[in-house]
Amino acid sequence: MATLRIGVDADAVEVLRRFDRPVADVARELVAPDRYRRGKIAGGKAANRLRLDRRAFVHRAADFGVPSVNDDEENLVVEFAANDRR
C-alpha cells in the first residue's frame, strides 16, 4: 500500500486523537467507507484496507450510514461467489 501525506489542521488532528488510537488508523477507517460509498473502490478493497473481511466491513460501513450493496454488477458476482465458497 502506498503512503500519502496530507495536511490536516490542528483541530482535526485533535479530534482524531480523541479515539485513543493512531491517527492514521482512524483516518483510514473514515476514508475507506467514504471511498466505497462514492464508488471509488470496491467493497472488498475497502475491507482489505481496514484489515476486515467483507462481512465485517459491511457491518462497520452500516455504522457510518454507508449502504451495504454499493458495487457494480461485476463486483457483486465476485462477492456472491466468494460468499458461496465459505
For residues 50 and 57, the answer to whether their CB atoms sit within 8 Å is yes
Note the pLDDT of residue 33.
Answer: 87
Domain ranges in the chain? 11-85
pLDDT of residue 26: 83
Res. 68: pLDDT tops 60 = yes
pLDDT digits (tens, 9 = 90+) for 3-55: 777 787 888 888 878 888 888 888 888 888 888 888 888 888 999 999 999 88
- In angstroms, the CA 75 to CA 15 distance is 35
Residue 82 has a pLDDT of: 76
pTM above 0.85, yes or no: no
Measure the CA–CA gap between 81 and 86, rounded to whole angstroms.
Answer: 9
The confidence score (pLDDT) of residue 48 equals: 92
